[in-house]
Chains A and B, each alone.
Chain A
Amino acid sequence: EIVLTQSPGTLSLSPGERATLSCRASQSVSSSYLAWYQQKPGQAPRLLIYGASSRATGIPDRFSGSGSGTDFTLTISRLEPEDFAVYYCQQYGSSPTFGQGTKVEIK
């Protein structure tokens, strides 16, 4: 089973700042089957990024994903008030797993 480790656990930033979230896998993620989800309190997760770098339908271009192999990054170029949430990475190979999440909070 692939273990995903997200860092940092919490990111304290102000609106307008850039957020950089990391997801590291215990072994190589095949074919960049890496996704990012956003979850707000009381809501279901929402798909942001798949294939490591492709934005899902309707996702603003301030969200971008990069990386391959074992190291992946989600970048939010300029934080909007609605972006403060918890973000999870997921590898969706044969036995999918999630990371433990990064909370992006208002500084």
Chain B
Amino acid sequence: QITLKESGPTLVKPTQTLTLTCTFSGFSLSTSGVGVGWIRQPPGKALEWLALIYWDDDKRYSPSLKSRLTITKDTSKNQVVLTMTNMDPVDTATYYCAHSPRVAAGLLDVWGQGTTVTVSS
């Protein structure tokens, strides 16, 4: 059974850097084709795809946020970390991580419960 869980601060100040960790079980990020992605959702708004990292360390980023995002993996710890620099109140959202299966790169078939991040001074 695949599970994912997001963790990180619930409150960050403007201009700070956000670091979120996705800890997963039930699969390995060393398996060919597998990936983990990050998605966010501002309150009452639509989903926004942020980034995805694959088993071979290939990384994809949202073009509009690419300059602010870094995604890394620690295969031995079953973790993926997303950092977002220069946080702003508009970045207030629920942040999700999700599993991307080997058979369909970029598809998100199992999601974590999400973690809420508020950006405020």
> Which A residues contact B (CB, under 8 angstroms)?
1, 33, 35, 37, 39, 44-47, 50-51, 56, 88, 90, 92-101
Cβ-defined contact, A98 with B113, below 8 A: no
B69 CB to nearest A CB, Å: 13
The answer to whether A45 and B46 have CB atoms under 8 Å apart is: no
For the complex, count residues of B whose C-beta is within 8 A of A: 23
Q: Which residues of B contact A93 (CB under 8 A)?
A: 106
14 further interface pairs, Cβ-Cβ under 8 Å (given A37-B47, A90-B49, A95-B60):
A1-B64, A33-B107, A35-B107, A37-B108, A44-B114, A46-B111, A47-B107, A88-B46, A90-B47, A94-B106, A95-B62, A95-B63, A99-B46, A101-B47
21 inter-chain pairs at a CB distance below 8 angstroms, sorted by A residue, are A33-B104, A33-B106, A35-B107, A45-B47, A45-B108, A47-B110, A50-B109, A51-B104, A88-B46, A88-B47, A92-B106, A92-B107, A96-B52, A96-B106, A97-B49, A98-B46, A98-B47, A98-B48, A99-B46, A101-B46, A101-B47
The reply to whether B111 and A45 form a contact with Cβ atoms under 8 Å apart is yes
B105 close to A (CB within 8 Å): yes
Chain B residues near A99 (CB, 8 Å)? 46
Q: Name the prevailing secondary structure of the B interface residues.
A: loop
The complex places the Cα of A45 from the Cα of B39 at a distance, in Å, of 10
User: Of all chain B residues, which has the CB nearest A45?
Assistant: B111
Contacts of B113 in A (CB 8 A): 44
The reply to whether B46 and A50 contact each other, CB–CB distance below 8 Å, is no
B96, B106, B107: the one contacting A44 at CB < 8 Å is B96
